[in-house]
């Protein structure tokens, strides 16, 4: 079954520093992968998705992610963190061949002055 693993439940960066949030997938076939962000007391917002069209995917708010088959990874990056980026980030993959979306355990991003 397809799954994702997010390394690091908490990541802290300084404002202006590089953001790197890690996601590794487990799949026998190339999966479709998603990154969602959840601000406090809100729902999930789609940041970006990988659907095999291009390995480097650009999303909203300056985020991007690169699909690396050799590393089974889909890490999320942003060159310069902003205070407003503080949130919970979830990597997700479809499982079961249908429309069941399975989430990683999430990474809480803290941005410090």
Token couple for 70: 């050799």
- Piece in contact with other proteins (CB under 8 A), picked from 17-25, 58-66, 70-78, 98-106: 98-106
Binds other proteins (CB under 8 A): choice among 28, 43, 70, 113: 43
Sign of CA dihedral 35, 112, 79, 67: negative
Residue span binding other proteins (CB under 8 A) among the ranges 15-23, 33-41, 58-66, 76-84 = 33-41
Residue 86 interacting with other proteins (CB under 8 A): no
Q: Is 98 in the site for other proteins (CB under 8 A)?
A: yes
Looking at the Cβ atoms of 99 and 113, the one nearer to other proteins is 99
CB 77: neighbour CB atoms within 10 A? 14
Q: Is 40 in the site for other proteins (CB under 8 A)?
A: no
CB of 61 to other proteins, least distance (A): 15
Binding positions for other proteins, rule: CB under 8 A: 31-32, 34, 36, 41-46, 49, 51, 90, 94, 97-106
């Amino acid at each position: 079954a397809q799954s994702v693993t997010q390394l690091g439940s908490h990541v802290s960066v300084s404002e202006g520093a590089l953001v790197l949030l890690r996601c590794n997938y487990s799949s026998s076939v190339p999966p479709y992968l998603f990154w969602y962000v959840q601000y406090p007391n809100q729902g999930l917002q789609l940041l970006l998705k990988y659907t095999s069209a291009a390995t480097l995917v650009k999303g909203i708010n300056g985020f991007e992610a690169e699909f690396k088959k050799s590393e089974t990874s889909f890490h999320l990056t942003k060159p310069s963190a902003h205070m407003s980026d503080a949130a919970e980030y979830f990597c997700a993959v479809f499982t079961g061949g249908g429309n069941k979306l399975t989430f990683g355990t999430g990474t809480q991003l803290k941005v410090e002055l």
